[in-house]
Structure 1
Amino acid sequence: MPRGTQIINGTEYVFETDPKWNAEKKYGTHTRTYIGKMVNGVFVPSKRYQLQCALEHAQASRPGPVPITTCSRRFCGATALFDGIGAKLGITDDLKACFPQSWKQMLSIAYFLILEDRNPLSRFPRWAASHRHPFGKTIPSQRSSELFGSIEEDAKQHFFRLQARRRMETEYLAYDTTSISSYCTMIKQVRYGRNKDHEQLPQINLALVYGESSQLPVYYRKLPGNINDVSTVKRLLADLAFLSFDKVKLVMDRGFYSEDTINALFQQHSKFLIAAQKSLRLVNVVLDEVRDQMRTRAHYQSNFKLYTYSRTVNWAYRETKKRSGVVETGERRLYLHLYYNDQKALDDRAAFNALLDTLEAELRAGSRNPEHEKLYQRYYEVAETPVRGVTLTPRQETIDEVEKNYGYFALLSNDIKDPIKALVIYRSKDLIEKAFGNLKERLNMRRTSVSSEENLEGKLFVQFVALMYLSYINKVMNEQGLYKHYTLHELLDELDVIECFEQPGHTAGIGEITQKQKNLYSAFGVAVPS
């Protein structure tokens, strides 16, 4: 239920409100129940509220069947898979610990988001009527909004900490951001910025951390829509320290590269792997020296169809001490890994020539594009006479300078010496792109239309929980080779036809389960429903 505070005689009391609609008198009422008070910014529950929570928790966790009062026939195969995954990953237990009154509703909405691809929450009652799910009852749109608004930041952070304890501290954490368009400009962090989906809408940004070996999301944070990627890294390091990730290892793309970022990572004794621009002096000097040498058989990696070269380089470290303001300088060791891919070079050169074709066509037709003026000047000398018309002379040295780096890319690390190991870990970052795809498409987060900060924060959290299930399903399907026979949608549909029958005075029964369906449960390490 929604919470609020009220100051009485100098003491800040916390209460819960229970809104109700009076159908006869045609107006809404609400009842306040005081559940504790705030002491130095910390919620201290009353003894009565503590006893109530303990009784509700004991009742929820009491073993044995729940009495059945009506006949029902609902689908349970896919939700049974989710139940097993939630127990396996500790999601269910951690939600119970952090949200003792609302964990069932949160799980039911997460299940709905996974199964009802792209459908809005207004269809939840229809889905709930035909499916067995943790809450067991319908959740109208108004109640789901109240649920989202009741999800508190402290409980969310506690959930992240509990999940962090279940993960390996030795794995690399992929970090990236994405933009989410919004129709509501009343939310404070909605801003116009560089929309990564190229939509002409204001946006918020979402930062996501993903485990490289567990292949599961670890943490997320909402950011203002006009924030740049580089400025988020220091805040991320502080957040991960709060979540008790003592040995942080980050893998990031070149959008996060800056001198301040590298210095901050060194300062926090964090391990990192980051892509770097070829124009960076630290990279370009070495690349010019070994460009021809590395494209030889001795440096060719057959399994990856590319050439590699590695070297240790020195990083000019700088740190400004907070208290004294003294600037500390020195050198730190970095491993520079260079790669060359023939196919990427061909693709880049073809794309570049297509751009030059467009520029030449615009110049000859006299239809210059204002956005291309700098490109015209950079790549061509343009002359025009009444007799010969427009004459174009390509600036070949400039064009050669651009093309010479096609096919090359660079990675920097203070931890990984081997170039192939670094490449494998960096490519695992693709998982986070798939996660963003799942969030925006299957979990219906491409555009948000919630009207308050609290509802947005709560909805993002439930969608994050759903993403944990989707990520684990994707991981198992890859490891077990299930994508050879099923898409994600087909696998869930294969299980979702299993029915559960409930009748008063009888134990609930499960419909027929085929061997194919049993094999799927086995692949996920989940017990067959019984």
Structure 2
Amino acid sequence: MGYQKVNMVLERGFYSKENINWVYQSHQKFLIGLRLNLNYVKEVLEQESDNLQLWSNLDPQFGTYGICRSIEWEYTQDRHRKGDVLIEKRRTYLHLFYNDEKAAKDRADQNELYTQLYYELTHNERKDYHAKDYAKYFDVVEIPKRGIKVTAKEDVMKAEIRNYGYFAMLSNDVRDPFEALCLYRSKDIVEKGFGNLKDRLNFRRMQVSSELALDGKLFVGFIALIYLSHLKKKMQEAKLFDRWTLQGVLDEVDLIEVFQAPEVGKVIGEVTKKQKELFQSLGITPPLLQILGT
């Protein structure tokens, strides 16, 4: 496509040793989410869990603690022409994070799962897609004339608790944990923005009569995502995320009324003091109230 430098930002579902080796072999820069059950992640997290939650490692903008540790990635490449396997060490950056709100959400979600699994087991309403979870979190014993006895595997549940609120990323380029977090969340902004295109802008059904109209609609959606990404960047520069969310900013300015008058043109309604301050923080001149006849 003509791009000279590409930084790949990937969900943890794309993680595999083969994929990371391929990215290295392709000389690409990457940032990827990681599962906490990977051995090298567990090892570093166990060493750094106390340090991770120190105030000096907190970024107030994100409300998240973060650290970066340099590790060695064991790079392997099958060299078919030479008939051997190249094995090298590559410097890689492991980013570890902890967030209190995520910890509370993880606990609530996991408890909800336990309750659902227990109900399905005790009421004989097992679901095939929960088969592995039943075996992982509960012991089920058949008792003659009494039915079944379901007992929680508390050791397994305690192990789950230790991971509440933590998440991890891996990069061969980004060294600062909060720069990595910013890049990763920028991907989320685009994904959520695309979700808004499908839901709020009716992109689930294109409802167009020609291929040209379809191209135009997709182009408008693409431009909208660029604006979302730029707005997020400006909010970060102005440190607005301490007080606002991206959706909150959009909702606030959405209250400004704009309509067309046949003889006057565009008419802008009242702009509140809060909205003016918001525009100024973003480096934008606030729109002026226009009254018909003036």
TM-score (norm 2): 0.74
Is structure 2 residue 49 aligned with structure 1 residue 282?
Answer: no
Task: Report if aligned partners of 2:190, 2:228 keep a CA contact under 8 Å in 1.
Answer: no
- Deviation at residue 281 of structure 1 after TM alignment: 2.3
1:353 paired residue among 101, 106, 111: 111
CA gap of 1:317–1:444, structure 2 versus 1, over 3 A, is: same
Asked if structure 2 preserves the Cα contact closer than 8 Å seen for 1:362 and 1:369, the reply is yes
Partner-residue secondary structure (3-state), 1:291? helix
Question: By percentage of residues, which structure has more helix?
Answer: 2
Deviation of residue 363 (structure 1)? Answer: 2.3
Query: In structure 1, the residue corresponding to 2:265 is in which secondary structure?
Result: coil
Uncovered stretches (5+) of structure 2, i.e. residues with no partner:
241-248, 271-275, 286-294
Provide the residue aligned with 2:142 in structure 1.
384
- C-alpha separation in 2, matches of 1:485 and 1:358: 39
Determine the C-alpha separation between the residues in 1 that align with 2:128 and 2:192.
36
Conservation of the 8 A alpha-carbon contact between 1:477 and 1:483: no
**Counterpart in the other structure of 1:314:** 72
Q: State whether residues 435 and 467 of structure 1, in contact with CA within 8 Å, keep that contact through their aligned partners in structure 2.
A: no
Against the structure 1 CA distance between its residues 366 and 289, is the aligned structure 2 distance closer, same or farther, given a 3 Å change threshold?
same
Relative contact order, CA 8 A, sep 6+: which one is greater? 1
Partners of 2:189 and 2:228 within 8 A in 1: no
CA-to-aligned-CA distance 1:132-155 (integer Å, 9 cap, x gap)? xxxxxxxxxxxxxxxxxxxxxxxx
2:250 to 483, 506, 515: 483
Name the aligned partner's letter for residue 339 of structure 1.
Answer: F
Residues 25-174 of structure 1 mapped to structure 2, 5 A cutoff: none
2:224 to 465, 470, 480: 470
Q: Report sequence identity in percent.
A: 35
* Aligned AA (1:426): Y
Match of 1:327 in 2: 85
1:512 aligns with 2:270: no
Asked whether the equivalents of residues 313 and 333 of structure 1 are also in contact (C-alpha less than 8 Å), the reply is yes
Contact 2:186 2:229 in 1 (8 A): no
- Cα deviations by residue, 1:257-302 (Å, 9 ceiling, x for unpaired): 2223222222232222111111122312211232334233443334
Q: 1:474 to 1:289 in 2, by over 3 A?
A: closer
Q: Distance in 2 between matches of 1:400 and 1:310?
A: 26
3-state DSSP class of the match of 2:258? helix
Alignment of 1:251-290 (within 5 A): 251-290=9-48
Count of aligned pairs: 263
- Pick the aligned partner of 2:8 from 222, 233, 250: 250
User: Would you say 1:367 and 2:121 are equivalent positions?
Assistant: no
Say whether residues 1:341 and 2:108 are aligned partners.
Answer: no
| Residues in 1 aligned to 2:108 and 2:144: alpha-carbon distance in whole angstroms | 34
User: What is the root-mean-square deviation of aligned Cα atoms in Å?
Assistant: 3.5
Q: 2:258 aligns with which of 494, 498, 516?
A: 494
Letter matched to residue 279 of structure 1: N
CA apart distance, 1:375: 2.1
* Residues 444 and 326 of structure 1: CA distance in aligned 2, closer, same or farther (over 3 Å): farther
**How has the CA–CA distance of structure 1 residues 434 and 333 changed in structure 2, closer, same or farther, with 3 Å as cutoff?**
same
Matched, 1:404 2:162: yes
- Check the 8 A contact 1:310/1:419 in 2, yes or no: yes
Residues 318 and 468 of structure 1: is their aligned pair in 2 closer, same or farther, counting only changes over 3 Å? Answer: same
Contact 2:57 2:66 in 1 (8 A): yes
Looking at structure 1, the residues matched to 258 and 92 of structure 2 have their Cα atoms a distance apart, in angstroms, of 50
Tell me if structure 2 keeps the 8 A contact 1:309–1:338: yes
